[in-house]
Amino acid sequence: DAKTTQPTSMDCAEGRAANLPCNHSTISGNEYVYWYRQIHSQGPQYIIHGLKNNETNEMASLIITEDRKSSTLILPHATLRDTAVYYCIVRVGGGNQGGKLIFGQGTELSVKP
Amino acid sequence: GAVVSQHPSWVICKSGTSVKIECRSLDFQATTMFWYRQFPKQSLMLMATSNEGSKATYEQGVEKDKFLINHASLTLSTLTVTSAHPEDSSFYICSARVASGSTEAFFGQGTRLTVV
């Protein structure tokens, strides 16, 4: 299974862009990069995913390097409600177990006023 | 996104009793559901994968006779913690996926289990 490494914690000023890095140097060619976040005592919330092209939705942008060994999640204008643990996950497997998400330790993002 | 609902949100039970947690996909049919456990200040740990109509596949180190999973319909999976002990106290979270190979999985809000 491809693994990811993320910084343990990050701070961001409210209103500024939050850039969360993730390394996934052993990712396979058909594995996607997923980002989820978990606010305290809640279930994880899907943010965005991508294969090799950069992606953008109403929540965030995902920038994947050309060699796919790393990616960055960008929250363009962070708010206090974006304070959460952010997980970068590479989707593994196939067949009946295809798509199971294995969580690493994530990055604890603190957005400060 | 699609909605996954867990019930109950929290439960307190006595040691030695069994507790059932339900996970429902409210607006889609989930062929695959996943069960996770999360201890305080730790990440989510995958416990098992269940496919509708077949036996669950458990991750290494997870006791299948202790954590009974039933995925009898396309909208409901249940996790039963049998003979619960205080060390089973944890945050249990389910997620559901529409079909094999589909994109994102949707998560329930979690169930806080406290065994006293």
- Find out whether the peptide bond into B8 is cis, omega within 30 degrees of 0: yes
Q: How far apart are CA B94 and CA B86, in angstroms?
A: 21
Q: Is B62 on the interface with A (CB under 8 A)?
A: no
The three-class DSSP label of residue B74 is coil
- Is B104 within 8 Å of A103 when comparing Cβ atoms? no
Q: Which residue has the tokens 């363009």?
A: A76
Q: Is A102 on the interface with B (CB under 8 A)?
A: yes
Per-residue pLDDT of B5-41, as tens digits, reads 999 999 999 999 999 999 999 988 888 899 999 999 9
Of how many residues is chain B composed? 116
Q: How far apart are CA A27 and CA A69, in angstroms?
A: 7
The three-class DSSP label of residue A38 is strand
Chain B positions in Cβ-Cβ contact with residue A49 (cut-off 8 Å): 103-104
Q: Are B82 and B26 in contact (CB under 8 A)?
A: no
**Shortest alpha-carbon distance between residue A50 and chain B (Å):** 10
Q: Is A8 on the interface with B (CB under 8 A)?
A: no
Per cent of chain B over pLDDT 70 is 95
Per-residue pLDDT of A6-34, as tens digits, reads 999 999 999 999 999 999 999 988 888 99
**Closest C-alpha to A104, from A48, A34, A42:** A34
Per-residue pLDDT of B53-87, as tens digits, reads 888 999 999 999 999 999 888 899 999 999 999 99
Of A44, A49, A99, the CB nearest to B101: A99
**How big is the CA angle at B54 (ends B31 and A101), to the nearest 5 degrees?**
50
Q: How far apart are CA A87 and CA A107, in angstroms?
A: 7
Chain B positions in Cβ-Cβ contact with residue A98 (cut-off 8 Å): 100-101
Q: Which residue has the tokens 């065994």?
A: B115
- Candidates B107, B109, B111, B112, partner chain A, best to mutate (most A CBs within 10 A): B107
Per-residue pLDDT of A68-101, as tens digits, reads 999 999 999 999 999 999 999 988 654 444 567 8
